[in-house]
């Protein structure tokens, strides 16, 4: 997307799609380089002046592009596991029904009945939209009760993501409705407002996804810890499968699950997306970095 807003104020501009494209190109440039990228190089990759790019990127990430690159480093996952590992016992009693404050977002959570899951969403009207996000293009699905699916297309391609998500609700009727889904998606990725989520899954999957919601922003857990927290300590492999089948990426934070060795592990929509998400959340959770930026 060409730079058509040279004087955009990142704090007030409502054109989130423009912001998302800028950040996406910057992350791609960082991710594809073996060496740290200079401010001038990153600005050139986005078609912006260095000063404007620095301002826009810092408004989104909360830290400078230079600092963000440190969070994207491959060794960052091990540091997270060492320093930001969380057990889920403390959050177990928080409850996830109704409206609650979850990972810095107001999320209205609703799980469909086992019967709805068994029927493959038969008779369900499922809206879809193709939207820009800071982590690349995403296909977003949902009902009038909330978002039911978010899939990122950068690694798999749009057709593959469409097939992946639509086959989870084979009985549903799909129709395009960007107006319905955009406000919830922008609230989710913009960290403001209320996002509604309506999940469709098997009972075991729902239990795992609820555990994912108890991992605080900026912290991580492991597959084994999640298995233990849901009372199935030996079901690590089944937990891994359920994590991978999470249809609502980002909102149900499967990107916060690492291997016990500190490795990133897999990510259904591609490890570059997972790294970018973890880097952004680390930046948000780093008050020292944000204070330095403000100064």
Catalytic residues: 254
For residues 56 and 8, is the Cβ–Cβ distance under 8 A?
yes
For residue 220, the cross-strand partners are 85
How far is Cα 84 from Cα 261, in angstroms, rounded to an integer? 14
Q: What is the Rg, in whole angstroms, of the alpha carbon atoms belonging to the chain?
A: 19
For residues 277 and 233, is the Cβ–Cβ distance under 8 A?
no
Buried residues in 24-52 as b, exposed as e (16+ CB within 10 A): bbbbbbbbeeeeebeeeebbebbebeeeb
Angle in degrees, 0-180, between the axes of helices 271-284 and 50-61, rounded to the nearest 10: 80
């Amino acid at each position: 997307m060409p730079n058509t807003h040279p004087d955009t104020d990142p704090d007030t501009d409502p054109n989130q799609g423009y912001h998302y494209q800028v950040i996406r190109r910057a992350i791609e440039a960082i991710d594809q380089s073996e060496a740290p990228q200079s401010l001038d190089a990153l600005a050139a990759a986005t078609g912006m002046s260095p000063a404007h790019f620095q301002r826009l990127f810092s408004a989104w990430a909360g830290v400078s592009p230079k600092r963000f690159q440190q969070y994207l480093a491959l060794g960052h996952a091990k540091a997270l596991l060492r320093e930001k590992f969380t057990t889920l016992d403390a959050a177990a009693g928080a409850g996830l029904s109704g409206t609650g404050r979850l990972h810095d977002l107001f999320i209205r959570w609703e799980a469909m009945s086992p019967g709805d899951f068994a029927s493959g969403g038969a008779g369900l009207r499922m809206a879809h939209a193709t939207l820009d996000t800071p982590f690349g293009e995403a296909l977003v699905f949902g009902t009038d009760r909330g978002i039911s699916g978010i899939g990122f297309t950068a690694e798999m391609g749009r057709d593959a993501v469409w097939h992946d998500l639509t086959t989870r609700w084979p009985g549903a009727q799909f129709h395009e409705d960007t107006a319905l889904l955009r406000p919830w998606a922008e609230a989710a990725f913009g960290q403001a407002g209320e996002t509604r989520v309506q999940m469709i899954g098997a009972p075991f999957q729902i239990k795992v996804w609820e555990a994912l919601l108890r991992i605080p922003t900026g912290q991580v857990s492991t597959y084994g810890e999640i298995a233990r927290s849901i009372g199935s300590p030996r079901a690590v492999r089944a937990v891994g499968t359920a994590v991978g089948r999470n249809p609502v990426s980002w909102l149900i934070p499967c990107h916060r699950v690492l291997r016990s060795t500190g490795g990133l592990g897999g990510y259904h929509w591609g490890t570059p997306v997972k790294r970018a998400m973890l880097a952004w959340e680390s930046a948000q959770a780093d008050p020292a970095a944000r204070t330095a930026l403000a100064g």
